[in-house]
Structure 1
Amino acid sequence: MVQKTVIIIGAGPAGLTAAYLLSQKGIPVTVLEADPQYVGGISKTVTYKGFHFDIGGHRFFSKSKEVEDFWTEILPNDMLVRPRLSRIYYSGKFFSYPLKPFEALIKLGIFKSILCVISYFKYKLFPKKNPKNFEDWVTNQFGKRLFNIFFKTYTEKVWGMNCKDISADWAAQRIKGLSLLSAVLNAFKPKPKSREKMNGYYFRPWKTMLVRTINNGGKSFYIKGRHRDTIPSLWTSINE
């Protein structure tokens, strides 16, 4: 019996991950990609004058051990634990993100801080039932005032969407385990040590995954043109 080949459209994170996992199981797989130079979609790494730049660069983090183990397998020497510094500029002051409750309350001032604490306990005692969107979910975790001060504008600027249009399920996954109480407890925990890079060379994650997929027998094609046949309503692709 002839084994069928799996065709994957797009060499983005989802496509390349699926291709790699299929190739590990010996299943023939072919990835089709429109970009003639890079893979990785909106997470690709581009090279300019000898420097590597991550488009839409973001720190990698996951609360899934399976995901962390997967990337440690792909990039065993490049998964470095580094100190994180993210801040929100509000009312002329910088606030740490994720929030550090004591710092935030001090910088907000006594009056605003009291209102934030009251709002927090209000929604802990009377939470919104069956939160449907990002706003509902975060409000239940932090209170309405902290949501409006820190989460609303930041989230809408980053994602270009109203918080009411973002799923509560997405919020629960994205900010999993984060609440005002957990933020207070984390403030007293010792910080993990950083792992320094030794060899000075960075392996681009999605390019590495593509190479591993090809080494497992997978194939990759660049789609350089396409033509739409309006009668059967089908796309015909020209590849190389």
Structure 2
Amino acid sequence: MARRRRAPLVLEKDSQVGGIARTVEYKGFRFDIGGHRFFTKVGAVQKLWRDMLGSDMLRRPRLSRIFYNGRFFDYPLKPLSAFKGLGLVNSVRILLSYLWIHVRPIRPEVSVEDWVSNRFGRRLYNIFFKTYTEKVWGIPCNRIGAQWAAQRIKGLSLVTAVWNMIRGGSGDGEIKTLIEEFEYPRLGPGMMWDAFHRAVLEHGGHLHLNADVVCLRHHEGVIDSVDYRLDGQTVSVPVATVLSTMPLRELVQ
């Protein structure tokens, strides 16, 4: 919008931009609030990233591992190394579990537990996916919807993991979960949003930190003004267009 000479007003509730993709500095070190890789097959988005950061947008090999039973296992799982680490008995049990779930699949698929079990077998699900997912999200897998798994690890199964291993990677990025390289800002993901912050100001826009939106006013189904609190005062500003990235629950309250 700023590049098209439509000076936007950006309201950020926190003291810095980036949300859960920000990078925080503490005692001379930089910490990412969460792990964020940059990967897209959309050319326009790729160009935008490059325009914003240039040579500071680095390409890096992926290294993700799960620590289980005293060993590190690659994630996404590489069947050969996983079976080697698990041993012959466990590997046979995993294979039998996978074959059994194909004979008697879980229907309907309601939860992450159902979705992953149907594609990897219940035993492999219990060994890797259950503990990993519940530690990251803090919610039991049987309470997370299957739709989440379908989007998060779309196209992944034991068969696709084996096939990916056989053909030596998935450089074409058909399955996002299996990508082996990604882009990453030199100083963490927050570097990207700091660059956007500067660009908004350079193109005549405005950005307020610690600005808490308290009300969206509308008339005949169209939002025409926004109230926000800044420095202890409530400000009302007329608007023509509103783009919101706040959680939907907060937006509708």
Task: Verify same fold: TM over 0.5.
Answer: yes
Is the Cα contact below 8 Å between 2:12 and 2:208 reproduced in 1? yes
Distance 1:196 1:149 in 2: 30
Distance 1:139 1:219 in 2: 49
Distance 2:105 2:94 in 1: 15
Distance 2:191 2:183 in 1: 18
2:18 paired with 1:40: yes
Specify the alignment match of 1:238 in structure 2.
230
Match of 1:136 among 106, 114, 134: 114
Considering fraction of residues, name the structure with more strand: 2
How do residues 84-103 of structure 1 correspond to structure 2 at under 5 angstroms? 84-103=62-81
CA shift, 1:218, in A, is 2.5
User: Unaligned regions of 5+ residues in structure 2, if any?
Assistant: 172-179, 216-226, 234-253
Specify the alignment match of 1:18 in structure 2.
none
2:153 paired with 1:175: yes
Identity %: 44
2:209 paired with 1:222: yes
TM-score normalized by the length of structure 1: 0.72
Q: Report the 3-state secondary structure (helix = DSSP H, G, I; strand = E; otherwise coil) of the residue aligned with 1:94.
A: strand
Q: Relative to structure 1, is the Cα distance of residues 80 and 28 closer, same or farther in structure 2, using a 3 angstrom cutoff?
A: same
Deviates more, 1:143-152 or 1:40-49: 40-49
Distance 1:226 1:177 in 2: 39
Distance 2:21 2:27 in 1: 19
Distance 2:151 2:183 in 1: 29
User: Unaligned regions of 5+ residues in structure 1, if any?
Assistant: 1-21, 229-234
Specify the alignment match of 2:198 in structure 1.
211
Q: Deviations over 1:124-152 (max 9, x none)?
A: 34432342221111111111111000000
How do residues 1-240 of structure 1 correspond to structure 2 at under 5 angstroms? 22-24=1-3, 26-36=5-15, 38-56=16-34, 58-62=35-39, 64-65=41-42, 67-190=45-168, 204-223=191-210, 237-239=229-231
CA shift, 1:156, in A, is 0.4
Give the AA of the match of 1:182.
T
Q: Relative to structure 1, is the Cα distance of residues 31 and 112 closer, same or farther in structure 2, using a 3 angstrom cutoff?
A: same
Deviates more, 1:94-103 or 1:71-80: 71-80
Q: How many equivalent pairs are there?
A: 210
Distance 1:121 1:76 in 2: 49
Distance 2:209 2:146 in 1: 37
Relative contact order (C-alpha < 8 Å, sep 6+): which is higher?
Answer: 2
Over aligned residues, Cα RMSD in angstroms? 3.4
Q: Deviations over 1:154-186 (max 9, x none)?
A: 110111111122122221111122211121122
Q: Relative to structure 1, is the Cα distance of residues 213 and 102 closer, same or farther in structure 2, using a 3 angstrom cutoff?
A: same
